Amino acid sequence: MWTKLANPGFFMRWSARLLPWFAGATALAFAIGLYMTFFTVPPDYQQGETVRIMYVHVPSAWLAMFLYSLMSASAIGTLVWRHPLADVSQKAAAPIGAAFTLVCLITGALWGRPMWGTYWVWDARLTSVLVLFLIYCGIMALWRAIDDPNRAARAVAILTLAGFLNLPIIKFSVDWWNTLHQPASVLRIGGPAIHPSMLYPLLVMALAFSLLAIVMHAYGMRTEIMRRRVRTLNILEAERLDRRAAA
Amino acid sequence: MVDQYANFIIASYVAVILIIGGLGLAMILDQRAQKRALAELEARGSTRRAKEAS
């Protein structure tokens, strides 16, 4: 069953049917999430109105880590089963993960300036997220450095799995070290520590961002499958011309 | 009354639009380029079946 589901042709057929529905659900979730963010969330007693930055910062941070986890799972698919769709998934996820990590870093800095009095400090959480962004950049550079997509996928998979060690460091940095960044307030033992009037809009925005990431990832995978078809057809055409010239 | 930190809030949302929107636009243009290249190759009769036939 998995072989059938993970077939590029099957993926192209089903993603073409499902993508418009997911795109519509994304737009709806953003409309509800943004309405709640700007019209129902009360100002925080400490952060004031800057709490509204959290509604883009936190989902971006979650997705930066989730997309890296997805790339790592795909990397295992590449190394263990040498599945072409796993290669495609890895490659499509990298720029999206990098973009969400960059959003996380920039919105964090813009929140930090009024709240902490500085855009940046070299504390463990901020530094480990910056390292994640640099790993994403390295992975994208490695994809471009090797022409053969199969060889590139294996090299990238090894780098991706080595970089996976950074994810627990990001998650637990606020517990292991004394950081300026506050500890987890949603995904923590004992349940969320923030009021439902602020929590539910955050969950809606997290859903909206997650749907957007799914749409972008599937769209990117479709493009990558097309790119590989173009490459294969170009090679076949060159071989045919060679044979004709030799005959 | 405009909040004293409004600039930081607006800048955050603008950053999201520019980064995610920019990536989305680049992805759309990339897919269009691949579709065009595929269409050109198919118009020239370059398919996998063409190889099998030749």
Q: Do B15 and A60 touch (CB under 8 A)?
A: no
Q: Do A107 and B48 touch (CB under 8 A)?
A: no
Report the SS3 class of residue A5: helix
Inter-residue contact A66 to A213 (CB < 8 Å): yes
Q: Does B46 touch chain A (CB under 8 A)?
A: yes
Q: Do A102 and B48 touch (CB under 8 A)?
A: no
Q: Hey, what are A126's tokens?
A: 């901020």
Q: Does B31 touch chain A (CB under 8 A)?
A: yes
Inter-residue contact A132 to A168 (CB < 8 Å): no
Q: Tell me which residue of A1, A36, A8, A78 sits closest to A203, measured CA to CA.
A: A36
ipTM: 0.90
Chain B residues touching residue A216 (CB < 8 angstroms): 23-24, 27
In this predicted model, what pLDDT tens digit does every residue of A141-198 receive, in sequence order?
999 999 888 899 999 999 999 999 999 999 999 888 888 888 777 776 677 778 888 8
Parts of chain A with a pLDDT under 50: none
pTM of the model: 0.91
Q: Does A59 touch chain B (CB under 8 A)?
A: no
Identify the pLDDT of residue A242. 87
